[in-house]
Amino acid sequence: MSKEPHYWFPAKRYGWGWGLPTCWQGWLVLLGFSAGLAVGLLFLPHRPLYRIGCPLLLTAMLLLICRWKGEPPAWRWGERREE
């Protein structure tokens, strides 16, 4: 068995952050994020607190999951890696 960790979200090749998911769990998280945004913006009351709070909360949750289940982020310059 391989001891290499299995990341749901690989690091981007250029820049900082994560790319598209590489497994079904990551795609499910991304689908849940998108559905949460759509449902929140369509069905929550039209108040600034809800219109700003819902996307901020969902984005924070997505970032936490990416940090937890994704490859460690670092600035990348393609094949060369700056640390």
| pLDDT of 2 | 64
**Per-domain residue ranges of the chain:** 45-71
Query: Tell me: the pLDDT tens digits for 15-67?
Result: 999 999 999 999 999 999 999 999 998 999 989 999 999 999 999 999 999 99
3-state secondary structure string, the chain?
CCCCCCCCECECCEECCECCCCCHHHHHHHHHHHHHHHHHHHHCCCCHHHHHHHHHHHHHHHHHHHHHHECCCCCEECCEECC
**What is this structure's pTM?**
0.83
